[in-house]
Amino acid sequence: MAAPAFTSSQEAEQAFYEAFERSNLDAMMAVWAEDEEVYCIHPGGPRLTGLEKIRESFRQIFGSGVRMRFQLRGAQQLRGGLLAVHTVYEYITVVGERQPASPVIATNVYANVGGSWRMVGHHGSAVPDAEPDPQSGPTSSSLLH
Protein backbone atom coordinates (compact mmCIF):
# COMPACT_ATOMS: atom_id res chain seq x y z
CA MET A 1 0.00 0.00 0.00
CA ALA A 2 1.56 3.29 -1.10
CA ALA A 3 1.79 5.71 1.79
CA PRO A 4 -0.73 8.51 1.42
CA ALA A 5 0.42 12.12 1.56
CA PHE A 6 -1.09 14.17 4.36
CA THR A 7 -0.87 17.87 3.63
CA SER A 8 -1.44 18.91 7.25
CA SER A 9 -1.18 17.47 10.74
CA GLN A 10 -4.97 17.74 10.96
CA GLU A 11 -5.31 15.48 7.94
CA ALA A 12 -2.94 12.94 9.48
CA GLU A 13 -4.92 13.09 12.73
CA GLN A 14 -8.18 12.46 10.91
CA ALA A 15 -6.64 9.44 9.19
CA PHE A 16 -5.38 8.13 12.56
CA TYR A 17 -8.85 8.14 14.13
CA GLU A 18 -10.54 6.83 10.98
CA ALA A 19 -8.13 3.91 10.86
CA PHE A 20 -8.81 3.32 14.57
CA GLU A 21 -12.58 3.27 14.02
CA ARG A 22 -12.25 0.94 11.05
CA SER A 23 -9.74 -1.32 12.85
CA ASN A 24 -7.65 -1.05 9.69
CA LEU A 25 -4.08 -1.93 10.57
CA ASP A 26 -2.55 -0.98 7.21
CA ALA A 27 -4.28 2.40 7.20
CA MET A 28 -3.21 2.96 10.82
CA MET A 29 0.43 2.20 10.13
CA ALA A 30 0.40 4.39 7.01
CA VAL A 31 -0.24 7.36 9.32
CA TRP A 32 2.99 6.76 11.25
CA ALA A 33 6.36 8.07 10.13
CA GLU A 34 8.90 5.44 9.16
CA ASP A 35 11.29 6.41 11.90
CA GLU A 36 12.86 4.33 14.65
CA GLU A 37 12.01 6.98 17.24
CA VAL A 38 8.22 6.96 16.89
CA TYR A 39 6.47 6.15 20.16
CA CYS A 40 3.02 5.20 21.37
CA ILE A 41 1.69 5.22 24.92
CA HIS A 42 -1.74 3.62 25.17
CA PRO A 43 -3.80 4.59 28.26
CA GLY A 44 -2.28 2.90 31.31
CA GLY A 45 0.46 1.30 29.24
CA PRO A 46 4.19 1.75 28.86
CA ARG A 47 5.93 3.62 26.06
CA LEU A 48 6.26 1.51 22.92
CA THR A 49 9.09 2.70 20.68
CA GLY A 50 9.47 1.83 17.02
CA LEU A 51 7.03 0.78 14.32
CA GLU A 52 7.24 -2.92 15.07
CA LYS A 53 5.97 -2.64 18.65
CA ILE A 54 3.37 -0.06 17.68
CA ARG A 55 2.05 -2.24 14.86
CA GLU A 56 1.83 -5.22 17.23
CA SER A 57 -0.14 -3.19 19.79
CA PHE A 58 -2.69 -2.08 17.21
CA ARG A 59 -2.86 -5.61 15.79
CA GLN A 60 -3.87 -6.79 19.26
CA ILE A 61 -6.36 -3.96 19.79
CA PHE A 62 -7.98 -4.43 16.39
CA GLY A 63 -7.84 -8.22 16.71
CA SER A 64 -9.84 -8.12 19.93
CA GLY A 65 -12.95 -7.43 17.88
CA VAL A 66 -13.85 -4.40 19.97
CA ARG A 67 -14.95 -1.61 17.68
CA MET A 68 -14.65 1.95 18.90
CA ARG A 69 -16.14 5.25 17.90
CA PHE A 70 -14.27 8.45 18.69
CA GLN A 71 -15.78 11.83 19.35
CA LEU A 72 -13.01 14.41 19.54
CA ARG A 73 -13.44 17.57 21.60
CA GLY A 74 -11.38 20.50 22.79
CA ALA A 75 -8.61 20.14 20.22
CA GLN A 76 -5.63 22.43 20.74
CA GLN A 77 -2.56 22.67 18.56
CA LEU A 78 0.99 23.92 18.84
CA ARG A 79 3.01 24.20 15.69
CA GLY A 80 6.65 25.02 15.17
CA GLY A 81 8.15 24.31 11.80
CA LEU A 82 8.45 20.60 11.21
CA LEU A 83 6.60 19.42 14.31
CA ALA A 84 3.00 19.86 15.40
CA VAL A 85 1.64 18.88 18.81
CA HIS A 86 -2.09 18.35 19.22
CA THR A 87 -3.90 17.69 22.46
CA VAL A 88 -7.46 16.45 22.23
CA TYR A 89 -10.10 14.78 24.36
CA GLU A 90 -11.22 11.43 22.97
CA TYR A 91 -14.76 10.47 23.97
CA ILE A 92 -14.83 6.79 23.12
CA THR A 93 -17.88 4.62 22.67
CA VAL A 94 -17.46 0.88 22.32
CA VAL A 95 -19.87 -0.36 19.67
CA GLY A 96 -22.55 -2.49 21.37
CA GLU A 97 -22.10 -0.91 24.80
CA ARG A 98 -24.43 1.73 26.14
CA GLN A 99 -22.10 3.47 28.55
CA PRO A 100 -19.35 5.56 27.06
CA ALA A 101 -15.87 4.69 28.27
CA SER A 102 -13.87 7.16 30.37
CA PRO A 103 -12.60 10.02 28.28
CA VAL A 104 -8.99 9.96 27.25
CA ILE A 105 -6.73 12.98 26.81
CA ALA A 106 -4.24 12.47 24.02
CA THR A 107 -1.05 14.27 23.07
CA ASN A 108 -0.51 13.56 19.39
CA VAL A 109 2.76 14.60 17.76
CA TYR A 110 3.18 14.95 14.01
CA ALA A 111 6.25 15.62 11.89
CA ASN A 112 6.58 16.89 8.37
CA VAL A 113 8.59 14.17 6.69
CA GLY A 114 9.52 14.93 3.12
CA GLY A 115 6.49 17.16 2.65
CA SER A 116 3.91 14.84 4.19
CA TRP A 117 2.72 15.00 7.78
CA ARG A 118 3.01 11.78 9.76
CA MET A 119 2.33 10.78 13.33
CA VAL A 120 5.52 10.41 15.37
CA GLY A 121 4.04 10.19 18.86
CA HIS A 122 0.80 9.32 20.64
CA HIS A 123 0.28 9.52 24.39
CA GLY A 124 -3.16 8.71 25.75
CA SER A 125 -4.30 8.65 29.37
CA ALA A 126 -7.68 8.33 31.05
CA VAL A 127 -9.02 11.50 32.65
CA PRO A 128 -11.87 12.29 35.01
CA ASP A 129 -15.15 12.58 33.15
CA ALA A 130 -14.98 16.34 32.94
CA GLU A 131 -15.63 18.81 30.20
CA PRO A 132 -12.62 20.11 28.32
CA ASP A 133 -11.44 23.47 29.64
CA PRO A 134 -14.42 25.74 29.03
CA GLN A 135 -12.33 28.63 27.75
CA SER A 136 -11.05 26.59 24.84
CA GLY A 137 -13.22 26.45 21.79
CA PRO A 138 -13.68 23.36 19.62
CA THR A 139 -10.37 24.05 17.95
CA SER A 140 -7.70 26.56 18.80
CA SER A 141 -4.34 26.90 17.22
CA SER A 142 -1.13 28.64 18.04
CA LEU A 143 1.67 29.21 15.63
CA LEU A 144 5.05 29.43 17.30
CA HIS A 145 7.35 31.50 15.19
133 binds a second copy (CB under 8 A): yes
3 binds a second copy (CB under 8 A): no
- Type of residue at 46: P
- Type of residue at 1: M
Contacting a second copy (CB under 8 A), which of 35, 66, 95, 137? 35
47 binds a second copy (CB under 8 A): yes
- Tell me the three state secondary structure of residue 18: helix
Q: How deeply is 106 buried, as exposed, middle or buried, from its count of CB atoms within 10 A (0-12, 13-18, 19+)?
A: buried
The total of other beta-carbon atoms located within 10 Å of residue 139's CB is 14
128 binds a second copy (CB under 8 A): yes
Q: Identify which of residues 72 and 105 has a Cβ nearer to a second copy in the complex.
A: 105
Contacting a second copy (CB under 8 A), which of 12, 31, 112, 119? 112
Q: Identify which of residues 15 and 121 has a Cβ nearer to a second copy in the complex.
A: 121
The per-residue DSSP string of 7-40 comes to SSHHHHHHHHHHHHHHT-HHHHHHHB-S-TT-EE
Largest CA distance in the chain: 46
Q: Which residues bind a second copy (CB under 8 A)?
A: 35-37, 39, 41, 43-50, 53, 74, 76, 78-85, 87, 89, 105, 107, 109, 111-113, 120-121, 123, 125-128, 130, 132-133, 135-136, 140, 142, 144-145
